[in-house]
Amino acid sequence: MDAALMGSPSVAAGDNPTSGEHRMGTTIVGVCYDGGVVLAADSRTSTGMYVANRASDKITQLTDNVYVCRSGSAADTQVISDYVRYFLHQHTIQLGQPATVKVAANLIRLLAYQNKNMLQAGMIVGGWDKYEGGQIFSVPLGGTILRQPFAIGGSGSSYLYGLLDHEWKEGMSQDEAEKFVVKVVSLAMARDGASGGVVRTVTINADGVSRKFHPGDKLPLWHEELEPQNSLLDILAAGNPDPMGRAKATCPRKCLSHRPYLMAVVAPPSLALPQPQNPTPKPRRRPPRDVASWTSAIARPAKQGDLPAAAAALSAMLSSPAAPAPNDVTLLTVLSACADSPSTPLARRLALSVHARVLKLFPSHLLLSTCLARFYFASRLPHLALQLFDSMPVRSAVTYNTVISGLMRNGLVAAAFEMFDGMPAPDKVSWTALIDGCVKNGRHDEAIDCFRAMLLDGVEPDYVTLIAVISACAEVGALGLGMWVHRLVVRQGLERNVRIANSLIDMYARCGLVELARQVFGGMRKRTVVSWNSMIVGFAANGRCTDAVEHFEAMRREGWFKPDAVTFTGVLTACSHGGLTDDGLRYYDLMKAEYGIAARMEHYGCVVDLLGRSGRLEEAMRVVISMPMPPNEVVLGALLAGCRMHGDVGMAEQLMQHLLELDPGGDANYVLLSNIYAAVGKWDGAGKVRSLMKARGLRKRPGYSAVEIDGDVHEFVSGDRSHPQAEEISQMLGLLMHEMAGHDYDHIIDCMNGE
């Protein structure tokens, strides 16, 4: 890998002046300018000959706005580029937005590191995005990516790095940057004596991408001021025993006086070069000597999330004869980095290696064992974590809390409760892990029960606990308990906590008290995008469509936060429920054009529902057909609901074929199609749908009603007698019916009897 890419003046790969045979290869350069980046490379092989094929074009497109410059093995780097291009394409499809330059650079860094033993190449990633502008990243093998204003790699990179550092200036124009990179690459070609070549440049900015080709006979070669018959190429070709001396003799002194980098080339070794006045020596970082220094060198990239660099530092420590053995802090640092990035292939291999060293050096170390358990839980290997826990001779509260959180994260709720019950003295963190785990696993009633048990146990909840409890109240509609928690928040002085305030807004909105949500929102001194989104979505869900649109416009006017994908989902839902078709379509176009947010599945569902409710079913169908991803059952179900609303049986039958493939067990779609047939009087069709449901063993899932009494939520299903007070409830309903019988409520009684 080119040392120049690391910002070092050492000799680059493929640029070894001490070797007997001078090798020549591609030179790559990347430069940032005011408004974008310019990438440049020459197209030649290691022999210096120009080659016109796909592999020789060392500037490869990864996305619409990201390119990579490649030096070294054309075949190897082309394979890496192809893999990265595929991954970035999948990234764009899944997230609904283009990948950034840094994401592309990280992917290349990862693949290059995994193939470092057989890959000798330099790569520069450059591109432009609307948030960061033009960016250049160099990709050293085994190291972190480096964001730089300029980078150079390949043949001649160490020789020309000083020139690049000296002549690059901030605020370059596009024209200046393009001429500059062409000059740098042509210098490398002239120095190598290439017999032919083309410099290719790619300029990337807000206006798009432009590619240019600069033929060899038009290049500003570094010997441009020499006499044509005495050019360096002629001297080298003639086999002169002292080509450098002849070149200097034929070069005017004024040519060299303002080009110190040429003096370094043409001067013989015995010639003393003029030294710059008042030199400022650059401090050199000394290699680590003691275990603390090595641990610090590992911890720096580990804290930045750069696991490959941390692994490389650990490998250097273990392989260096002068380095001390890693201590427990060193291994703990590496394991923590692995636990923070459990999905990477390197993390598992590295953690297993460290685990083996822990068993050898620190078999009963409490913190190391706890950190290993955390890693195994994060890697979805709970059985290994539990085996490790069982083998620990000593366990702390931190160990128990780590295991409880890990079990909950892996969906093992019963095992987490069993672990909690076996804990000697559960603390605040233990209760919070249990409550939060129940919420995240959909056990909201159990989360509320745990919260009550926590209070009875005399443990004071913190803000993390309260956020989890408020979320559980929102899910089950426990308004009374939610308001009690709100009072507890005020009593503890936590009402200014932004996360708690956002949770309260969501809870009140879900419970139907949107005005209380507005009061909480109005009392916030500091808001976030989540605060605005909670209000907009809350208004939309409660039918306050005008208020939702007004808050969306207020958010745009204030300008502190940009609407995101969730914001537009809320305002599109409001427009759909409020019949604001034209406004909804305008906001949909605004989302893509002004804010650059790619439409996701939920946005398409909102637009289809918007058009379907207004009777524009053909337009809704065109939206479904034009979707870049296959529509799911929610999108098609929204269009099916529009068909029912407007009696379009033909389109409903067409949609039902796709819905049966996507969601064959969904009873709601069958019921909806049956109701469509019934609404237009096609009873045979309705009967066929009911028969099909029966043949497939499907039954309509009954709806339920819920009522909160004294903080407890009671659910009732039609015909259900499982409630412990079912007999008393039935007697009370009978008494009410008797009271109503003396009045003109016969039609109400018929409704209650289901007639």
Q: How would you write 121-135 as a 3-class SS string?
A: CCEEEEEEECCCEEE
Q: How far apart are CA 45 and CA 55, in angstroms?
A: 10
The reported pLDDT for the residue numbered 86 is 72
* Contacts of 692-698 spanning 24+ positions with Cβ under 8 A: 693/667, 696/664, 696/665, 698/665, 698/667, 698/670
- For residue 208, is pLDDT > 80? yes
Q: Residue 106: pLDDT above 60?
A: yes
Which residue, chain included where needed, has tokens 């660099």?
Answer: 309
Long-range contacts of 128-131 (CB under 8 A, 24+ apart): 128/36, 128/37, 128/65, 128/101, 128/204, 128/205, 128/206, 129/65, 129/98, 129/100, 129/101, 130/206, 130/596, 131/100
pLDDT of residue 495: 85
Contact by Cβ (8 Å): 197, 216: yes
Distance CA 463, CA 335 (A): 29
The closest of 176, 187, 121 to 154, measured between CA atoms, is 121
Q: How far apart are CA 701 and CA 555, in angstroms?
A: 40
Q: What is the mean pLDDT of residues 344-355?
A: 86
**Residue 93: pLDDT over 70:** no
**pLDDT band at residue 186 using 50, 70 and 90 as cut-offs:** confident
Of 372 and 229, the one with more pLDDT: 372
CA–chain centroid gap for 437, Å, is 24
Per-residue pLDDT, 747: 53
**Both tokens of residue 386?**
């539990």
One of 18, 26, 92, 581 is an active-site residue; which one? 26
CA–CA separation, 752 and 535 (whole Å):
36
- The whole-number pLDDT of residue 417 equals 92
| pLDDT, position 49 | 45
Kindly give the interhelix angle for 382-391 and 397-409, rounded to the nearest 10 degrees. Answer: 160
The closest of 582, 639, 589, 635 to 613, measured between CA atoms, is 639
Burial annotation 603-636 (CB, 10 A radius, 16+ → b, else e)? bbbbbbbbbbbbebbebbbebbeeeeeebbbebb
Beta strands in 195-316 (DSSP E): 198-205, 208-215
Q: Would you state the pLDDT for residue 271?
A: 30
60 sits in which H/E element: strand 59-63
Residue ranges of alpha helices (H) inside 422-528 are: 428-440, 444-456, 463-476, 479-491, 498-510, 514-522
Chain segment 161-184, per-residue pLDDT in tens: 767 777 777 778 888 888 888 888
- Return phi, psi of residue 323, to 5°: -80, 145
Percentage of residues in the chain having pLDDT higher than 90: 14
**First-to-last C-alpha distance (Å) of the chain:** 81
Backbone angles phi, psi at 596, to 5 degrees: 65, 30
Predicted confidence at residue 6, as pLDDT, reads 34
Per-residue pLDDT tens over the stretch 603-637: 988 998 888 888 888 888 888 888 888 887 778 77
* Catalytic residue list contains 26: yes
For Cα atoms 83, 86, 87, give the angle at the middle one, nearest 5 degrees: 90
Q: Judge contact between 347 and 341, C-beta under 8 A.
A: yes
pLDDT band at 138 (very low <50, low <70, confident <90, very high): confident
Which residues touch 119 (CB under 8 Å, ≥6 apart)?
Answer: 72, 73, 76, 77, 80, 112, 141
CB 574 within 8 A of CB 549: yes
Best CATH choice for the domain 27-218 from the list 1.10.3470.10, 3.60.21.10, 3.60.20.10, 3.40.30.10: 3.60.20.10
561: pLDDT strictly greater than 80: yes
pLDDT category at 19 given cuts 50, 70, 90 is very low
The predicted model gives 254-274 an average pLDDT of: 35
Buried b / exposed e across 450-480, counting CB within 10 Å, b at 16+? bbeebeeeebebeebbbbbbbbbbbbbbbbb
Q: Say what the pLDDT of residue 170 is.
A: 79
Report the range out of 122-136, 300-314, 685-699 with the highest average pLDDT.
Answer: 300-314
Model confidence at 414: pLDDT above 50: yes
Which residue do the tokens 């808001």 mark?
527
What is the C-alpha separation between 469 and 683, in angstroms, rounded?
49
Residues 9-28 have a mean pLDDT of 45
- Residue 452 has what pLDDT? 92
Residue scoring higher pLDDT (382 or 51): 382
pLDDT digits (tens, 9 = 90+) for 712-749: 666 666 656 666 777 777 777 777 776 776 655 555 54
User: Quick check: 481 and 495 in contact, CB under 8 A?
Assistant: no
* Separation CA 99–CA 129 (nearest Å): 9
pLDDT at 432: 93
DSSP annotation of 715: E
Which pLDDT value is given to residue 270? 34
Give the model's confidence band at 542: pLDDT under 50 very low, under 70 low, under 90 confident, else very high: confident
Domain range summary for the chain, segments of one domain joined by +? 27-218, 288-394, 408-521, 721-753
- Rounded CA Rg of the chain: 35
pLDDT 10s digits, 396-412: 899 999 999 999 999 89
Q: Is 408-521 the same fold as 27-218?
A: no
Is 6 exposed, middle or buried (CB count within 10 Å of its CB: 0-12, 13-18, 19+)?
Answer: middle
Q: How far apart are CA 181 and CA 203, in angstroms?
A: 11
Q: What is the pLDDT of residue 626?
A: 85
Per-residue pLDDT at 617: 85
For residue 752, is pLDDT > 60? no
The domain made up of 408-521 has a fold known as 1.25.40
Mean pLDDT (the chain, rounded): 75
Locate 408 and state its tokens: 């909950």
pLDDT (mean) for 521-540: 89
The Cβ of residue 673 has, within 10 Å, a number of other Cβ atoms equal to 25
When pLDDT is cut at 50, 70 and 90, the band that residue 706 belongs to is: low
The token duo for 617 is: 């079913």
| pLDDT above 50 for 646 | yes
**Position 118 pLDDT exceeds 80:** no
List, in sequence order, every beta strand (DSSP E) within 111-268: 123-129, 133-138, 146-147, 150-154, 198-205, 208-215
Write out pLDDT tens, residues 29-86. 889 888 889 988 876 544 444 444 433 467 888 888 888 887 766 656 666 777 777 7
pLDDT digits (tens, 9 = 90+) for 225-261: 323 333 333 333 444 444 344 334 434 333 333 333 3
d(Cα 67, Cα 44) in Å, to the nearest integer? 19
